[in-house]
Amino acid sequence: MSRYEIDTEKIYNEDRSKASIFYSIGEESQKGLIFSAHTDTVPVDISQWSTDPYTLNIRDNKYIGRGTTDMKGFISILLSLTPWLISNNLSNPFHVALSYDEEVGCLGVQPLIESIKNKIQEPKLVIVGEPTKLQIIDRHKSCHTYQTEFFGLKAHSCDPSWGCNAIYFASVFIEKLKEFEMQLKEENKDENFDPPYSTINIGVIQGGNAHNIVPDYVKILWQIRCLPDSDHKILLKGLFENIIPNIESDMKAKSKAAHIVNKNMSNILPLKKSTNSNTLDNLTTKTNTPSGVSYGTDAGYFSKQGWQTIVCGPGDIEQAHKSDEYILIEDIKSGMRFVENIVNSYLI
């Protein structure tokens, strides 16, 4: 941003291979707004794209490319408004906080917040610009990812009893997860979300070497998405303290060395509805009624600071993470008007 004489701060990861970016426009000693977005994207399978996913293409009134919806369209809006923001001589600051590695567990936003929280005034509002079709989201679920590994005993398949089949015991664990998911559907519900209950997903299963070898290893990656007021540790207590140990005991009956290793790989904090609603009440009179979503964002980490936080941005989350991802040109225009209206209401 040197062209506009804007000082930017880079907050690096441990090996300095990635960095979050923070900068402000306007009077920094006052209370302003934080506009936040993540700069990373999910991977692509180029064979499933009709265009180069990393080159912006325009077709049928759409901007097509990886991350156009999630959420580089929002970043482009913030950058394109820079000359307008500067020309208005803002009396309150317009903060921009761009994080890395949101897609792998909101890793970049945490050191970013630690770096800036004592350098700026408490913001009036944090807007995380995930694609919500410009609907205001004031709460979302948490997301907790686990890796569960099964270590059995390899053997020739001519007599499977010689080994300890890790796939068999992993399948028992999968069935228990399915049963647990059915319980979640019947327990705590919140109609602000779709689906209105906590959910389980098994995303990756890896194991086995050949059809004629008793497999000695399986890895399962799975996650639980919890309603904001649910504690995932309490929900999973029976799984960790009873079910996994029981399966491991059955494995050890086949091989004394057999065991299970369970690791918590990442956690995304929930966004809970703010009890301080003055700023949000004023905003919703101009826009819409807040609601909840089931996907995770960086928002929970800003909210944890006691900062009022919402999720609101252009585009549709259904287009995110897909081949030929796109955002409508009209959505970008609507997003620019949305940001301009907030600036006019709170910063000028």
CB atoms within 10 A of CB 143: 24
Determine the pLDDT at residue 104.
87
* pLDDT attached to residue 168: 98
How far apart (Å, rounded) are the C-alpha atoms in residues 30 and 38? 25
Cβ-proximal residues to 327 (8 Å cutoff; 6+ apart), any chain:
62, 63, 68, 69, 73, 131, 314, 315, 319
Burial of residue 91 (number of CB atoms within 10 Å: 0-12, 13-18, 19+):
exposed
Range 246-281 burial, b when 16+ CB lie within 10 A, else e: ebbeebeebbeebebeeeeebbbbbbbebeeeebbe
| pLDDT value of position 264 | 96
CA separation for the pair 261, 252 (Å, rounded): 14
**HEC string of 55-100?**
CCEEECCEEECCCHHHHHHHHHHHHHCHHHHHHCCCCCCEEEEEEC
Which residues fall within 8 angstroms of residue 17, CB to CB, at 6 or more apart? Answer: none
Residue 13, token pair as written in the block: 């990861």
Q: Which pLDDT belongs to residue 288?
A: 61
- Say how far residue 261 (Cα) sits from the centre of its chain: 25
pLDDT tens, the chain, 348 aa long: 667 789 999 999 999 999 999 999 998 889 999 999 999 999 999 999 999 999 999 999 999 999 999 999 999 999 999 999 999 999 999 999 999 999 988 999 999 999 999 999 999 999 999 999 999 999 999 999 999 999 999 999 999 999 999 999 999 999 999 999 999 999 889 999 999 999 999 999 999 999 999 999 999 999 999 999 999 999 999 999 999 999 999 999 999 999 999 999 999 999 998 766 566 666 654 556 668 999 999 999 999 999 999 999 999 999 999 999 999 999 999 999 999 999 998 888
In this prediction, residue 8 carries a pLDDT of 94
Pair of tokens at residue 246: 């029981």
The C-alpha atoms of residue 321 and residue 43 are separated, in whole angstroms, by 8
Domains and CATH numbers, the chain: 2-140+270-346 (3.40.630.10), 142-267 (3.30.70.360)
